[in-house]
A = this chain, B = another copy of it.
Amino acid sequence: MDLHDALLEKLKEIYELLKEGKEVKIRLSSRGFLNIRFDEVKGLIKLGEKLSEREFFNAAHVRRFVQTILVASRVIKLLESGKHASQREMYYQLKHHLPFSKENTFECEAETIKAIEDLERLFRGKAIREQFHITADRRGALFGDIVIVDKSIPGEFAEFVPAKLGRGGWAIPSTIEEIEIKDINADYVLVIESAAMYERLIEEGFPKKSRAILITTQGQASRGVRRLLNRLRYEYNLPIIVFNDCDPWGFYIYFVLKSGSMNLAYLSEKLAIPDAKYVGMCLEDIKRYRLTNVLEKLKEVDVKRAKEMLRYPWISRFEEWKRELSKMIELKVRLEQQALASKSLEFVAEKYLPEKIENKIFLP
């Protein structure tokens, strides 16, 4: 599907109808709570078939309708020029005063984001913001023995190996649609919540010894990281293994990577990795590695979060995760990645990860 032509076609159609004074509406995937469902076969959070209609000749709809059209017309220009814009740039590009009225096209960035999401929903999740050349916030870094080719800078050809960039690694950009991977000298991807652990494993020479590509999300994964992981899994056939803190936040980061999020449910096919595995940290580690002395107390708000997570069908379908979360609620403790340093700095790279990964001691 050529997005540019599809969008142009759509806008022309609307224009013709409006010119004739006819009723105009657009249909988008409904993102209401009732339309969010969990696809057990695919293991993905998805939107159902329900559609929302937005009509031009409807006082309650017209503002959002026009905003979506404004974003669409801007996207056509982006695609024609080959340029990308951040959502904040989109906001400032499109914000203007409407003549003969007291209205601005957009009052705040949040309105622009909603209109961008509308555009994604207009395509029922078959196209993502990045394909419209709208970029999201970037975060995260990659270290590994692969050859990346990035043709996205006009006139510049970039080809590089992120394992040859010292301790730093490659800063993962907001958009990775135009990236190709040529050679892969690694067996799997290890996704790591904290940048400090990523640096630990680099220092220990873990990527080479274990033939791993390391990616740190630095907290919740950015869209760029999620899309990159999805491509590494399904285009380049690399297993994805996740290594987070043992607390509701670390678990949740994992499940967003694995099953998608309710907020962006219409994009799960492009962003999620349903067969990702979780190597740790988990409460089972306490006994296995004698870590009772480095447990930290869980806050009440985290206990509440753990209880909520137990109610999500994409989590509770796994007995192992039900057990982990129930135990966490009972013991009210958390266990961080860095707690492994209480054994020794090398422990995580020489014992913990090799033992668990070689013997496939994963949570699903």
Contact = CB atoms under 8 A, between A and B. Distances in A.
Interface residues of A, number: 61
A92 B205 contact: no
Interface in A78-109: 83-86, 88-93, 95-97
B138 A166 contact: no
Interface stretch (A17-25, A173-181, A249-257, A270-278): A173-181
A284 interface: no
Contact of A341 (B93, B158, B169, B342): B93
A195 interface: yes
A84 B199 contact: yes
Interface string A186-222: 0000000011100110110100000000000010000
B203 A153 contact: yes
A231 to B, nearest CB: 15
Contacts of A88: 194, 196, 336, 338, 341
Contacts of A84: 199, 203
A114 interface: no
Nearest to A204: B83
- Most central of A168, A195, A218 by chain B CB within 10 Å: A168
A137 interface: yes
- Most central of A84, A137, A163, A345 by chain B CB within 10 Å: A345
Contacts of A96: 293
A150 B218 CA distance: 22
Contacts of A66: none
A298 interface: no
Interface in A137-191: 137-139, 141, 148, 150-156, 158-160, 163-175, 179
Contacts of A97: 293
Given A174-B195, A205-B154, A85 B166 contact: no
Nearest to A163: B156
A166 B138 CA distance: 14
A339 interface: yes
Q: How many monomers of this protein are in the complex?
A: 2
Contacts of A90: 341
Contacts of A196: 86, 88-89, 135, 137, 174
A363 interface: no
Contact of A294 (B92, B179, B345): B92
Interface in A321-362: 336, 338-342, 345
B179 A166 contact: yes
A168 B172 contact: yes
A248 to B, nearest CB: 19
16 contacts: A86-B199, A88-B196, A92-B338, A93-B345, A95-B294, A96-B293, A138-B195, A139-B218, A150-B167, A152-B166, A153-B167, A153-B205, A156-B205, A166-B173, A168-B170, A168-B172
Given A135-B196, A174-B195, 9 more contacts: A84-B199, A86-B200, A88-B336, A92-B336, A92-B341, A93-B342, A150-B167, A156-B163, A158-B166
